[in-house]
């Protein structure tokens, strides 16, 4: 009996020990983890001079690899950087804990700053415990972990919740209850489709008391073709999609059929492995069809110069660098571009590795310059020509009313491989050693028996189940879409300098599960939105803020302002103005006067902004024309990407300029007026009208107090319009949508003002 | 790094402060409760702890960017040898195989083209200045003329991007964004970084929003475009039918409603948003007051020239720049297009100089008479220079000049710079003979004048610390008084 108890104790001890190995985070813990505790310190403070970059290495000392870190020091006779178990004999510890500026590390000249006391203590402990190195977590293929034990099983709805709840319980946090139905529906609808729920949807959901009511709504949202539009927006950032060439004269280009394909691919639930394969190498697939070739436009969305006098090769190289960066940041989640000029300073990527990756993209037929703006064409070689018959068969998803041909810039391979050289300092005209196409060895070996040395091989390597990055990186991007921040906060950097995952086991579980289930994106999305973690109310409290100010441990639901495009969508949709056409050429809605003209060289068809009329004014935000040199101003104000280069994460700011847009943008004013007109046509009281507008915009029934404040404001404004202290005619003139002159102008204007106020509520454009 | 920690601390403090505030204030209508210093002064004071790194000489910068690249050989860098050798080929020993743009790389000859304009010697430094810039010549004793600038790019887009962001490509923060990040704004009602655009009649090269982008910095550090027209800032004006009192009324209602929301969620971001609406409201008053030039006295209009009352001109922008700067805007960036004279240079440059000469000099004089020149650094220059040989056909009185990154002239004034002439080019005006100043050096020096160590003003993004000066640049101490 006693023996069993003892064994039990040992088992518990082992379990605790193992657990703390995985999640240890500081000197307070028993076991210090190299990956989670030590490497972030070394990477930030030491690797710049003692890391992978051989050219910048000082004192011949390399600390990012155990084998070299344990060698006798070359510059200090008899000394060792690391003596396992003996911090006092380890030069690292002696120097980081020294107060002598001529001896201490990092040196004052490095401007890196000294280690904190806690960091020094952590280093000490790690050395005491044997100074064990581990392979970087993100460069090791994920394994599906077992689900952790939790106390409050009743709260758990699916696997995700085991991981998040275990963390919360460990941190002394309690999860929130589920959000109320109205707010949950708004959240899910905005997250899945980018649009607020319709009144009908709200009513249905409120009435439905069945156990799977929420699931039914989620399925309905996932089946809507607005899902593809929502999901595409993030991918358009990754792909730096725009409607112009960028650079000086910034003329128009036609890449939008590719944008329509992305929407189609998400709606069709094309598995992510195929989604990526087609974009990397659709043209090289056996019997490639035009849809697969179109997908490769992903790598041709970068800027393209039409400035007279450029040196073509300089720009051709620039375009390949851009492709390499986009692949690295957007798909692999690493900062491979740092190795363009020198070996990477933090990650084990050599400059040679960079150009070996670059070589995959270097074999395309494109040239650096096809003439200046006077010879501008809508696409650059190699081209995909899409004709009428393509659009009535395989490519029905392309929305184009004309019968003419469309041309899109796509990828195309040279018959004889172009040689690739390491470019000294990354400069186009300084080639040195030749390299062959090869993917980053530190991530995963590129077995040429399995993978040909072309983009098709690269695609297969990328979506191999043994690739440690691809699934993790994508799952993380999707997580970010729903929670506002990734499990790895540095979405584009899973390397040594990136943030560590807040829930490493969850990330791995999701990544492996995703691959095991055929890279099924809709399934992943459903998994996330069905979890209790996602469904929690967004309420916070002083205590939660104190314990976890950034909500890293997810003890309440996500609450943040929706992205730029969806602010516009919400305004148009709730007012009934939204035109739900999917895809097609981008449109030019209202924009403050003179912006394009002021910045233009005067050349090219985009020198002046020609605002469109009618339906073009009411399309979703993602269809607003993006001229790279002058991106749509209201979008930029709400943190939309400027599409200059691959972007995987938008910032979330709160500025006075955003307030000015919501108060004065003609789109918001027009939407308020049109919604007022519609409601005036209904045979209801002003109270009812205000209540309905509130519900359409905020997506919940207004509380009595809220509606009373708005009614008070309405009465006040009505009085002022009647007394002519303010001008109803001028107020109602907002926007081009026809006015309804049969209505009482004063009452309509007063209702419009109340609605404007609702649009400006903090909660209106917030995911709550 | 230090700076990042400060910002982190600030956001914590803000959250704590806001949640405390909510408890203390209870049912007070937040809309009418102005807390002016919350995001203005007090926030900035917290940010600037530890910054500047040392005592600044300048507090603000006004950068008069001459977009398209003015010809230094026709304005500042007087080379009589070129007139003597008019039409003869540029010796290969001088060109040293330097790469040329695609526009002249295929020319068989590189005929030297001396300037057609007269030069005089002005001021204590006996600086050469062309007859095209009489007003500039009149303030020469305040100018620090750098004749030995050089850059690495030979085309407009990368060269301009390099001057503004310290890198030829990539979405890096602009110089003004770095200063906004490092030093914040001095005025709670105005952005720290403002941008003004104008166009001359000469051959133009566009500008682009990327030039005043915040890059990876927070978007509050983005340049805000201003103009002296009726709508000085995008979306600033209330719509027709709404006056200031109405707006106040609406904001009070909004405040009440948002406070109800705060009670439910306790999310401090709700209050943060209310404050942004209040700042927007204050901007609606403050900005038109500043951008209104109608009340400027006759003497000022005379100083800048009559164009200063025409919105969108360089002169109007110079006047507006003075007003913004005077009101505490950290960095005012002007761009004036039209200097890209590949052909017909003598004619085009005349028009360009008429646009900018008087107003540029007026800005110096005006700042000086207000006692502001000492603390305001004014910078004037383009993205590169122009070649000493002719592009296209050389005739007796006309020539064009291609891009020349190897040597060109810019000037600075006020803000602690040492007046005089710095650097020299060779007799051909092609290579630098003495004291070269790289774009990174220029940035390092400008930051130093503002009290910032260019190696310490860093921001971590995508795993590395970025600086305006990338990995190079040294402060040119001889430029500092």
Write the CATH number for B298. Answer: 3.40.720.10
Q: Which residue of A has its CA nearest to B284?
A: A660
Chain A interface test: which of B229, B239, B460, B465 (most A C-beta within 10 Å)? B239
**Which positions in chain A touch B5 (Cβ < 8 Å)?**
none
Interface touch B269/A560, C-beta < 8 Å: yes
Q: Between chain A and chain B, how many beta carbons pairs sit less than 8 Å apart? A: 239
Long-range contacts of B164-168 (CB under 8 A, 24+ apart): B164/B65, B164/B211, B164/B212, B165/B211, B165/B213, B165/B215, B165/B468, B166/B439, B166/B440, B166/B443, B166/B467, B166/B468, B166/B469, B166/B470, B167/B470
CB pair distance less than 8 Å for B235 and A663: yes
Q: Which residues of B touch A493 (CB under 8 A)?
A: 462-463
The Cα of A604 is separated from the nearest Cα of chain B by a number of Å equal to 11
Nearest to B204 among A601, A639, A760 (CB): A601
Q: Which residue of A has its CA nearest to B196?
A: A598
Cross-chain CB nearest to B1 (options A113, A593, A647): A113
Minimal Cα–Cα distance from A360 to chain B, Å?
A: 22
- pLDDT averaged over every residue in chain A: 93
Q: How much of chain A, in percent, has pLDDT values that exceed 70? A: 96
- For residue A46, pLDDT over 60 is answered with yes
Residue A504: per-residue pLDDT: 95
- To the nearest whole Å, the CA of B253 is away from the closest chain A CA by 7
Residues of B with Cβ-Cβ distance to A332 under 8 angstroms: none
Per the CB < 8 Å rule, is A713 touching B253? yes
Q: Is residue B24 part of a domain?
A: no
Residues from chain A that touch B104, judged by Cβ atoms under 8 A, are: 309
CA separation for the pair B443, B460 (Å, rounded):
19
Residue A712 in this model has a pLDDT that exceeds 50: yes
Q: Could you say which of B197, B231, B279 has the minimum Cβ distance to residue A592?
A: B231
Q: Is A179 exposed, middle or buried (0-12, 13-18, 19+ CB in 10 A)?
A: buried
| Residue A675 CB contacts under 8 Å (≥ 6 apart), including other chains | A574, A575, A576, A693, A696, A752, A755
DSSP reduced 3-state for A635: helix
Task: Give me Rg for the CA atoms of chain A.
Answer: 29
Give the C-alpha distances (Å, rounded to integers) separating A684 from A688, A703, A753, A756. 6, 19, 18, 20
Kindly indicate the confidence band of residue B30, based on its pLDDT and cuts at 50, 70 and 90: very low
Closest partner residue to A249 (CB to CB) among B206, B210, B218 is B206
Ramachandran assignment for B462, one of left (phi > 0), alpha (psi -120 to 50 degrees), beta (any other): left
- For B218-239, the pLDDT digits (tens) are 777 889 888 777 788 999 999 9
User: Residue A733: its chain B contacts at CB < 8 A?
Assistant: 240-241
Question: Which residues of chain A have a CB within 8 Å of the CB of B208?
Answer: 246, 250, 599, 628-630
Is the model's pLDDT at B38 over the cut of 50? no
Q: Quick one: pLDDT at residue A684?
A: 98
Among the partner residues A497, A549, A654, nearest to B276 by beta-carbon distance: A654
Distance from CA of B21 to the nearest CA of A (A): 12
d(CA A766, CA A276): 32
Q: Which residue of chain A has the CA closest to B251?
A: A757
Q: Which domain holds residue B205?
A: 34-228+293-479
Q: Residue B5: inside a domain, yes or no?
A: no
Cβ within 8 Å, pair A761-B243: no
* Closest residue of chain B to A749, computed from CA coordinates: B241
Q: How many Cα atoms within 13 Å fall on the side-chain side of residue B211?
A: 31
Query: Does residue B464 surpass a pLDDT of 90?
Result: no
Query: Which of B205, B254, B337 is facing A761, going by the closest CB pair?
Result: B254
Summarize pLDDT for A244-259 with one digit per residue, the tens.
999 889 999 999 999 9
pLDDT at A526 over 80: yes
Average pLDDT over residues A388-413: 93
Taking residues B383-411, what's their average pLDDT?
95
- Give Cα separations from B418 to A53, B163, B415, B422 (angstroms): 41, 22, 9, 9
CB contact under 8 A, A709 and B102: no
- Report if residue B256 sits inside a domain: no
On whether residue B301 sits in a domain, the answer given is yes
pLDDT higher than 80, residue B386: yes
Q: Do A636 and B209 touch (CB under 8 A)?
A: yes
Nearest beta carbon to residue A248 from set B12, B205, B222: B205
**What percent of chain B stands above pLDDT 90?**
65
| Domain coordinates in residue numbering, chain A | 2-135, 152-177+469-558, 182-212, 560-653, 664-767
Determine the pLDDT at residue A44. 87
Domains held by chain B: number: 1
User: Any idea what DSSP says for residue A332?
Assistant: I
SS3 content of chain A, % helix, strand, coil (to 5): 50, 5, 45
> Which of B213, B220, B240 has its CB closest to that of A731?
B240
Please indicate whether, in this complex, the C-beta atoms of B241 and A111 are within 8 angstroms of each other: no
Q: Which residues of B touch A706 (CB under 8 A)?
A: 257, 260
Binary contact (A663, B238; C-beta < 8 A):
yes
Query: What pLDDT does residue A27 have?
Result: 41
Cα A752-A758-A764 angle, rounded to 5 deg = 140
- Alpha-carbon gap: B338 to the closest alpha carbon of chain A (Å): 9
For residue B218, the distance in angstroms to the closest alpha carbon of chain A comes to 7
Q: How far is B266 from chain A (nearest CA, A)?
A: 6
Asked if A663 and B274 come within 8 Å (Cβ–Cβ), the reply is no
- The verdict on a CB contact (< 8 Å) between A658 and B276 is yes
Separation between Cα atoms, residue A379 and residue A255, nearest integer Å:
8
**Strands B376-381 and B408-413, sheet pairing:** antiparallel
Whether pLDDT at B31 is above 50 = no
Kindly report which listed range (B96-110, B145-159, B332-346, B347-361) carries the lowest average pLDDT score: B96-110
Scanning A239-307, the segments in alpha helix (DSSP H) are: 256-267, 272-281, 290-295
- pLDDT for B187 equals 86
Q: A710 to chain B: which residues are within 8 Å by CB?
A: 253, 257
Mean pLDDT of A443-454: 96
- Nearest residue of A to residue B5, measured between CA atoms: A113
Contacts of A346 in chain B (CB under 8 A): 463-464
Q: Quick check: helix, strand or coil at residue A509?
A: helix
Provide the pLDDT confidence category of residue A19 given band limits of 50, 70 and 90.
Answer: very low
Distance separating alpha carbons of residues A260 and A386, to the nearest angstrom: 13
Average pLDDT over residues B82-104: 89
Q: pTM for this structure?
A: 0.85
Q: What is the pLDDT of residues A584-630, one digit of tens each?
A: 999 999 999 989 998 888 899 999 999 999 999 999 999 999 999 99
Of A498, A653, A657, the CB nearest to B218: A653
Mean pLDDT of A682-693: 98
Residue contact B256–A709, C-beta within 8 A: yes
> Which residue of chain B has the CA closest to A764?
B258
Contact B206 A248 (CB under 8 A): yes
Whether the ipTM is more than 0.90: the answer is: no
Q: Do A113 and B2 touch (CB under 8 A)?
A: yes
pLDDT band at A6 (very low <50, low <70, confident <90, very high): very low
Contact B238 A642 (CB under 8 A): no
Task: Confirm if A23 and A16 have CB atoms less than 8 A apart.
Answer: no
Distance from CA of B419 to the nearest CA of A (A): 32
Chain A residues touching residue B226 (CB < 8 angstroms): none
- Per-residue confidence (pLDDT) for residue A7, from 0 to 100: 47
Q: Report chain A residues whose CB lies below 8 A from the CB of B171.
A: 642, 644-645, 647
Instruction: Inspect the interface and report whether the beta carbons of B218 and A249 lie closer than 8 Å.
Output: no
B241: chain A residues, CB-CB within 8 Å: 726-733, 749
Residue B247 has pLDDT above 50, yes or no: yes
Q: d(Cα B481, Cα B476) in Å, to the nearest integer?
A: 11
Cβ-Cβ contacts under 8 Å, B463 against chain A:
335, 338, 346-347, 490, 493, 495-498
What's the pLDDT score for residue B384? 97
Confidence of residue B50 (pLDDT cuts 50, 70, 90): low
């Amino acid at each position: 009996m006693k023996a069993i108890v003892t064994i039990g104790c040992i088992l518990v001890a082992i379990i605790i020990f193992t657990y703390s190995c995985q999640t240890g985070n500081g000197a307070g813990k028993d076991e210090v983890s190299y990956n989670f505790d030590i490497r972030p310190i070394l990477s930030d403070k030491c690797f710049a001079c003692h890391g992978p970059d051989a050219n910048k290495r000082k004192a011949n000392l390399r600390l990012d690899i155990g084998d070299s870190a344990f060698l006798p020091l070359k510059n200090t006779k008899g000394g060792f950087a690391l003596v396992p178990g003996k911090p006092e004999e380890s030069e690292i510890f002696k120097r980081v804990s020294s107060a002598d500026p001529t001896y201490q590390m990092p040196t004052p000249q490095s401007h890196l700053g000294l280690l904190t006391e806690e960091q020094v203590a952590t280093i000490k402990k790690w050395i005491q415990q044997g100074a064990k190195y581990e392979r970087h977590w993100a460069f090791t293929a994920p394994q599906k972990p077992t689900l952790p034990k939790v106390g409050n099983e009743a709260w758990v709805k699916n696997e995700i919740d085991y991981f998040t709840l275990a963390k919360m319980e460990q941190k002394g946090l309690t999860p929130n209850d589920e959000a109320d139905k109205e707010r949950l529906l708004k959240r899910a609808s905005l997250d899945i489709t980018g649009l607020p729920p319709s009144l009908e949807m709200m009513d249905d959901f409120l009435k439905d008391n069945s156990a799977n009511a929420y699931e039914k709504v989620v399925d309905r949202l996932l089946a809507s073709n607005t899902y593809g539009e929502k999901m595409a927006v993030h991918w358009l950032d990754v792909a730096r999609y725009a409607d112009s060439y960028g650079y000086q004269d910034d003329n128009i280009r036609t890449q939008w059929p590719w944008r329509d394909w992305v929407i189609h691919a998400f709606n069709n639930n094309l598995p992510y492995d195929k989604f990526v394969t087609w974009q990397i190498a659709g043209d090289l697939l056996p019997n490639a069809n035009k849809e697969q070739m179109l997908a490769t436009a992903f790598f041709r969305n970068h800027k393209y110069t039409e400035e007279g006098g450029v040196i073509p090769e300089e720009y051709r190289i620039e375009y390949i660098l851009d492709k390499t960066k986009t692949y690295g940041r957007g798909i692999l989640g690493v900062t491979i571009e740092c190795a363009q000029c020198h070996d990477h300073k933090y990650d084990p990527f050599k400059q040679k590795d960079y150009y070996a990756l670059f070589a995959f993209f270097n074999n395309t037929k494109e040239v650096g310059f096809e003439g200046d703006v006077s010879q501008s064409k809508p696409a650059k070689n190699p081209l995909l020509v899409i004709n009428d018959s393509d659009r009535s068969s395989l490519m029905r998803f392309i929305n184009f009313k004309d019968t003419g041909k469309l041309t899109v810039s796509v990828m195309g391979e040279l018959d004889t491989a172009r040689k690739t050289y390491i470019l000294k300092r990354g400069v186009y005209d300084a080639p040195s050693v030749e390299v062959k196409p090869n993917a980053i060895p530190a991530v995963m070996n590129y077995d040429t028996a399995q993978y040909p040395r072309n983009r098709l091989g690269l695609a297969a390597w990328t979506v191999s189940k043994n690739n440690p990055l691809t699934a993790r990186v994508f799952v993380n991007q999707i997580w970010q879409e729903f929670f506002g921040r990734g499990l790895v906060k540095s979405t584009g950097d899973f390397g040594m300098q990136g943030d560590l995952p807040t829930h490493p086991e969850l990330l791995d579980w999701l990544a492996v599960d995703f691959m095991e289930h055929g890279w099924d994106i809709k399934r992943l999305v459903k998994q996330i939105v069905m979890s209790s973690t996602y469904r929690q109310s967004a309420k916070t409290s002083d205590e939660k803020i104190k314990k976890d100010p950034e909500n890293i441990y997810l003890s309440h639901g996500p609450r943040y302002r929706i992205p730029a495009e969806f602010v516009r969508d919400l305004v148009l949709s709730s007012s009934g103005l939204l035109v739900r056409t999917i895809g097609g050429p981008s449109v030019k809605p209202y924009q403050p006067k003179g912006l394009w003209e002021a910045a233009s060289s005067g050349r090219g068809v985009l020198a002046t902004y020609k605002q469109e009329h009618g339906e073009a004014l009411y399309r979703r935000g993602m269809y607003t024309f993006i001229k790279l040199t002058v991106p749509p101003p209201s979008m930029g104000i709400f943190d939309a990407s400027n599409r200059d280069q691959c972007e995987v994460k938008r910032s979330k700011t709160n500025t006075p300029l955003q307030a000015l847009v919501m108060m004065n943008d003609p789109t918001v004013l027009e939407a308020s007026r049109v919604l007022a007109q519609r409601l005036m046509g209904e045979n209801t009281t002003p109270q009812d009208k205000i209540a309905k507008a509130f519900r359409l915009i905020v997506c919940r029934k207004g509380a009595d107090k809220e509606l009373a404040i708005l009614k008070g404001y309405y009465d006040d404004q009505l009085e002022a319009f009647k007394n002519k202290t303010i001008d109803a005619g001028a107020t109602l003139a907002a926007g081009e949508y026809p006015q309804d002159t049969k209505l009482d102008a004063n009452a309509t204007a007063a209702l419009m003002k109340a609605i404007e106020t609702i649009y400006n509520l903090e909660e209106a454009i917030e995911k709550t | 790094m230090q700076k990042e920690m400060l910002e982190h601390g600030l956001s914590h403090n803000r959250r704590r402060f806001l949640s405390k505030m909510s408890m203390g204030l209870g049912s007070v209508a937040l809309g009418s409760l102005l807390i002016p210093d919350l995001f203005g002064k007090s926030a900035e004071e917290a940010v600037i702890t530890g910054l500047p790194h040392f005592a600044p000489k300048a507090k603000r910068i006004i950068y008069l960017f001459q977009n398209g690249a003015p010809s230094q050989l026709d304005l500042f860098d007087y080379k009589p040898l070129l007139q003597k050798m008019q039409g003869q080929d540029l010796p290969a020993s001088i060109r040293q195989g330097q790469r040329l743009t695609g526009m002249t790389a295929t020319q068989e000859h590189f005929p030297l083209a001396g300037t057609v304009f007269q030069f005089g010697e002005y001021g204590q430094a006996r600086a050469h200045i062309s007859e095209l810039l009489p007003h500039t010549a009149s303030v020469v004793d305040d100018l620090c003329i750098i004749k030995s600038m050089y850059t690495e790019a030979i085309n407009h887009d990368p060269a301009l991007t390099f001057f503004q962001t310290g890198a030829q490509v990539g979405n890096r923060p602009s110089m003004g964004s770095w200063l906004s990040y490092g030093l914040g704004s001095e005025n709670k009602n105005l952005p720290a970084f403002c941008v003004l655009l104008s166009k001359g009649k000469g051959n133009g090269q566009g500008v682009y929003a990327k030039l005043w982008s915040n890059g990876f910095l927070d978007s509050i550090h983005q340049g805000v475009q201003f103009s002296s027209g009726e709508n000085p800032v995008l979306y600033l004006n209330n719509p027709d039918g709404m006056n200031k009192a109405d707006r106040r009324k609406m904001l009070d209602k909004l405040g009440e409603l948002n406070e109800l929301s705060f009670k439910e969620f306790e999310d401090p971001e709700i209050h943060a948003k209310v404050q942004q609406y209040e700042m927007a409201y204050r901007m609606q008053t403050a900005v038109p007051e500043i951008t209104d030039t109608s009340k400027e006295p006759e003497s000022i209009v005379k100083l800048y020239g009559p164009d200063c009352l025409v919105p969108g001109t360089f002169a109007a922008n110079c006047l507006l720049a003075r007003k913004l700067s005077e009101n505490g805007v950290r960095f005012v960036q002007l761009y004036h297009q039209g200097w890209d004279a590949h052909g017909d240079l003598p004619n085009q440059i005349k028009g360009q100089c008429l646009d900018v000469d008087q107003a540029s000099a007026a800005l110096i004089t005006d700042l000086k008479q207000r006692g502001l020149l000492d603390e305001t650094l004014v910078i004037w220059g383009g993205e590169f220079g122009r070649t000493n040989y002719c592009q296209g056909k050389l005739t007796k009185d006309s020539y064009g000049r291609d891009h020349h990154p190897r040597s060109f002239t810019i000037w600075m004034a006020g803000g602690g710079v040492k007046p005089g002439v710095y650097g020299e080019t060779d007799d051909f005006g092609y290579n630098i003979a003495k004291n070269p100043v790289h774009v990174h050096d220029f940035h390092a020096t400008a930051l130093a004048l503002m009290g910032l160590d260019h190696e310490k003003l860093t921001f971590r993004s995508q795993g590395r610390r970025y600086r305006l000066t990338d990995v190079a640049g040294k402060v040119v101490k001889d430029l500092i008084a």
